[in-house]
């Protein structure tokens, strides 16, 4: 399948390993732990990073977010000792970063910066091969890895020979990520990696990266000043405030729900309740039971069911429980349930819809309730504005 | 002393022909007498290349020092700047009592002249290295040495080569005065008979031709070693 598979020979066993395992990480992601990590610059009275303590489980994205001057980039750069740790320590995979040789440590950690920093005098292939070469991989293994990474980031292999100046901004950004992934590092540092990309391409690159991450499961420290990006990208978010003080460290939903102090509350924004809705899907909500009735059933039955439910109207469904419409006042005056006296069931909400979209649908149809259907189209419950407003004010279950 | 030097420059016998008597441009005379320019020409080439090579090595060393310790850049620029502003003729005569007549004196003076040009271009080259390329290189685990040889110097090459071109053409010109230090060169042939047009044409023409050829050679070399600079436009 791969034309560059080495033709036997015991000297290339390592190359074989790298190829057979493909882009899915062959190396275990490393956990990361800041332990009272502090950076103090001489001649300043406040530390740039102040006794930062937080743990990132292996395989998760931890976003460092905060206004400029909050020390988020400094904190990130302390991990690979691009900035020296004044006090405290940072453990990468349980090993103290302070005790490791800094060059060796850096080769073991992927590094992506906003300006990308591709070497303009080296071809795309050579750029991607930077760390493998430093690590002394042989030519064949390196070339195979470069091709594999180009496939992974969706660039044609012919691009290997091009120079960075011949690529678009988005392509350069992808190459920057590929270069950081080249030696399959157990930990990646990304400093505003999409910051210099226009909004449309940024969205695309973010989604691409999340898809990649779902496969690679790297431990990632991701720095951004954009709270929306933080919420989108992060498994956990560390909000830093000026002086490098950790204001809150929590999963996105919890951060939006329970900002620990005024600073975090302001930082996540007045629309944090709406942002929260973007994080959950309809299936995550305890839906109301739908008072289902079928055509021809006694209206008294419909009244009884509606009275038992939080929903004041009965929902007419067909024999497969697909929604046909809400029984109207007019319909209630009849003896039997008549489908033709039911109003539109729209909007019909999908179990997999994001809550924000569901809310938007309800508002657009100017209604309080929407029937929720499963992938087979059967009604499984009812979503209401009231339920959504509960979601936005209640604590999520511990993530 | 000056008189002594200019005594050498007195017009000599011009070997016959009418054209020569008329002080014209004489192809026949040039063809017959071309031999006498060969040695001065190679002396000129030698002076130029050796001086630029030594100057390049010294300027490179100084640039590495100034790259490592930023504060050195300004004093080095000032000192090499002083060398640059000294009139070369004066330097030859100042050095004569110390190093005597000959190549050494000439080369010392010519090297001193190249330093400022080359040093400043080295520094300009280093400054043009994108900060983010440096940061990314360090962050990926390049050692300082790998960063210097693998990233900074290659990216500084366009400016370094530009400096080399200026240094070489300037040195070809200045080496025309090297005969004052007793080092020969095309200047000697030129001033040997400065009033004879054919002589001036050949000696001067060879010097100019040498400058042009060397300049083009370095330009070609520059293009060969910096392929990425053209890729951007493509």
What is the distance in angstroms between the Cα of A183 and the nearest Cα belonging to chain B? Answer: 10
Which chain B residues touch A136 with a CB distance below 8 Å? Answer: none
List the single residue in A118, A134, A166 with the smallest CB-CB distance to B234. Answer: A166
Give CB contacts under 8 A, 24+ apart, made by A126-130.
A127/A164, A127/A175, A127/A179, A128/A175, A128/A178, A128/A179, A128/A182, A129/A182, A130/A179, A130/A182, A130/B137, A130/B140, A130/B142
Is residue B214's pLDDT more than 80?
yes
Chain B window 54-73: which residues touch A at a Cβ cutoff of 8 Å? none
pLDDT in tens, B171-184: 999 988 888 887 78
- Predicted local distance difference test score (pLDDT) of residue A143: 95
Question: Which residue of B141, B226, B230, B231 is the best one to mutate when testing the A interface, meaning the one whose CB has the most A CBs within 10 A?
Answer: B141
Chain-centre distance for alpha carbon A177: 16
Pairing of strands A236-241, A61-65: parallel
Closest Cβ opposite residue B231 in set A106, A107, A163: A163
Residue B222, chain A, CB below 8 Å: the answer is no
What pLDDT score was predicted for residue A197? Answer: 84
Using CA atoms, how far apart are residues A155 and A143, in angstroms rounded to an integer? 15
CA distance B22 to chain A (A): 59
> Which residue has 């890729």 as its token pair?
B231
Which residues of chain B make contact with A173, given a CB cutoff of 8 A?
Answer: none
SS3 percent helix, strand, coil of chain A, rounded to 5, is 40, 20, 40
**Chains A and B: how many Cβ contacts under 8 Å?**
79
Best interface-test mutation with B: which of A102, A120, A182, A183 has the largest number of B CBs within 10 A? A120
Residue of chain B whose Cα is closest to the Cα of A162? B231
Interface pTM, i.e. ipTM? 0.80
B chain contacts of residue A162, beta-carbon cutoff 8 Å:
231
Give pLDDT, residue A118: 95
B232 phi-psi bin (left φ>0, alpha ψ -120 to 50, beta other): alpha
Residues from chain B contacting residue A120 (CB–CB below 8 Å)? 130, 133, 155, 228
Is B145 an interface residue toward A (CB < 8 Å)? no
Assigned token pair, A46: 């406040």
Q: In what order do the strands lie in the sheet with A315-317?
A: A292-294, A315-317, A323-327, A342-343
Question: For A131-177, where are the E strands, in sequence order?
Answer: none
Q: What is the mean pLDDT of residues B135-157?
A: 95
Q: How far apart are CA A138 and CA A179, in angstroms?
A: 17
Give me the pLDDT at residue B208, please.
Answer: 94
Read off the pLDDT of residues A378-395 as tens digits, 9 standing for 90 and up. Answer: 888 888 888 888 876 665
**B147/A contact by beta carbon, under 8 A:** no
| Cβ contact, residue pair B142, A134, below 8 Å | yes
pLDDT band (50, 70, 90) for residue B233? low
Residue among B136, B153, B229 with most chain A CBs within 10 A, to mutate: B136
Give A243-250's long-range contacts (Cβ < 8 A, gap of 24+).
Answer: A243/A46, A243/A47, A243/A48, A243/A50, A243/A70, A243/A71, A244/A38, A244/A39, A244/A47, A244/A48, A244/A49, A244/A50, A244/A52, A244/A70, A244/A71, A244/A74, A244/A75, A245/A50, A246/A52, A246/A53, A246/A54, A247/A66, A249/A54
Q: What is the pLDDT of residue A257?
A: 82
User: Which chain B residue's Cα is nearest to A107?
Assistant: B141
pLDDT of residue A184: 93
- Residue B3 pLDDT class (50, 70, 90 cuts): low
Distance from CA of A234 to the nearest CA of B (A): 23
Q: Please tell me what DSSP assigns to residue A298.
A: B
At B201 the pLDDT is: 86
**Residues of chain A positioned with their CB less than 8 A from the CB of B159:** none
User: Looking at the partner chain, which of B146, B228, B234 has a beta carbon nearest the beta carbon of A120?
Assistant: B228
DSSP-derived letter for residue A340 is G
The low-confidence residues of chain A, meaning pLDDT below 50, are 1-25, 397-399
Q: Given CB atoms, is A118 within the 8 Å cutoff of chain B? A: yes
B142 CB within 8 Å of a chain A CB: yes
Instruction: Kindly state whether B138 is in contact with chain A, defined as any CB-CB distance less than 8 angstroms.
Output: yes
The pTM of the full predicted model, rounded to 2 decimals, is 0.75
């Amino acid at each position: 399948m791969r034309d560059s598979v080495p033709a036997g020979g015991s000297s290339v066993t390592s190359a074989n390993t790298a190829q057979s395992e493909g882009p899915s990480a062959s190396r275990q992601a490393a956990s990361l732990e800041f332990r009272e990590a502090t950076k103090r610059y001489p001649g300043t009275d406040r530390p740039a990073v102040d006794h930062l303590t937080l743990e990132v489980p292996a395989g998760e994205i931890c976003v460092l977010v905060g206004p400029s001057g909050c020390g988020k980039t400094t904190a990130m750069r302390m991990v690979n000792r691009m900035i020296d740790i004044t006090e405290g320590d940072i453990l990468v995979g349980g090993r103290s970063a302070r005790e490791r040789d800094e060059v060796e440590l850096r080769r073991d950690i992927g590094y992506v910066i906003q300006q990308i920093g591709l070497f303009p005098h080296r071809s795309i292939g050579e750029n991607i091969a930077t760390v493998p070469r430093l690590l002394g991989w042989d030519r064949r293994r390196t070339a195979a890895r470069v091709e594999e990474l180009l496939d992974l980031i969706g660039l044609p292999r012919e691009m290997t020979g091009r120079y960075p100046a011949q690529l678009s901004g988005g392509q350069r950004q992808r190459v920057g990520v590929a270069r950081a992934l080249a030696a399959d590092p157990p930990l990646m540092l990304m400093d505003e990696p999409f910051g210099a990309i226009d909004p449309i391409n940024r969205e695309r690159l973010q989604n691409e990266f999340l898809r990649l991450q779902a496969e690679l499961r790297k431990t990632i420290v991701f720095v951004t000043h954009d709270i929306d990006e933080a919420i989108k990208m992060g498994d956990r978010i560390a909000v830093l405030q000026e002086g490098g003080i950790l204001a809150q460290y929590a999963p996105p939903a919890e951060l939006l729900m329970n900002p620990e102090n005024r600073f975090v509350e302001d930082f996540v924004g007045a629309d944090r309740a709406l942002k929260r809705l973007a994080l959950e899907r309809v299936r995550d909500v305890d839906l109301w039971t739908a008072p289902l009735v079928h055509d021809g059933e006694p209206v008294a039955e419909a009244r009884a069911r509606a009275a038992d439910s939080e929903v004041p109207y009965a929902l007419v469904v067909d024999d497969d429980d697909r929604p046909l419409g809400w029984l109207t006042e007019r319909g209630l005056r009849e003896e039997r349930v008549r489908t033709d006296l039911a109003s539109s069931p729209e909007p019909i909400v999908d179990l997999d819809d994001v809550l924000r979209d569901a809310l938007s649908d309800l508002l657009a149809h100017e209604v309080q309730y929407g029937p929720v259907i499963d992938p087979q189209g059967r009604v499984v419950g009812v979503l209401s504005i009231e339920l959504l407003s509960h979601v936005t004010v209640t604590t999520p279950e511990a993530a | 002393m000056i008189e002594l030097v200019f005594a050498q420059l007195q017009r000599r016998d011009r070997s016959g022909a009418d054209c020569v008597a008329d002080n014209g441009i004489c192809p026949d005379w040039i063809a017959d007498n071309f031999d006498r320019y060969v040695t001065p020409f190679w002396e000129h080439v030698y002076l130029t290349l050796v001086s630029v090579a030594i100057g390049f090595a010294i300027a490179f060393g100084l640039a590495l020092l100034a790259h490592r310790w930023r504060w050195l850049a300004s004093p080095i620029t000032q000192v090499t700047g002083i060398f640059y502003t000294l009139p070369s003729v004066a330097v030859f005569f100042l050095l004569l009592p110390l190093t005597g007549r000959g190549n050494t004196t000439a080369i010392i003076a010519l090297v001193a002249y190249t330093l400022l040009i080359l040093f400043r271009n080295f520094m300009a080259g280093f400054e043009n290295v994108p900060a983010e390329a440096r940061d990314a290189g360090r962050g990926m685990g390049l050692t300082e040495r790998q960063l210097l040889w693998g990233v900074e110097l290659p990216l500084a090459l366009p400016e370094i080569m530009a400096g080399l071109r200026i240094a070489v053409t300037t040195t070809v010109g200045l080496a025309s005065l090297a005969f004052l230090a007793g080092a020969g060169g095309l200047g000697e042939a030129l001033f040997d008979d400065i009033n004879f047009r054919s002589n001036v044409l050949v000696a001067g023409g060879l010097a100019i031709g040498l400058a042009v050829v060397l300049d083009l050679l370095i330009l070609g070399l520059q293009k060969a070693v910096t392929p990425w600079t053209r890729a951007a436009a493509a």
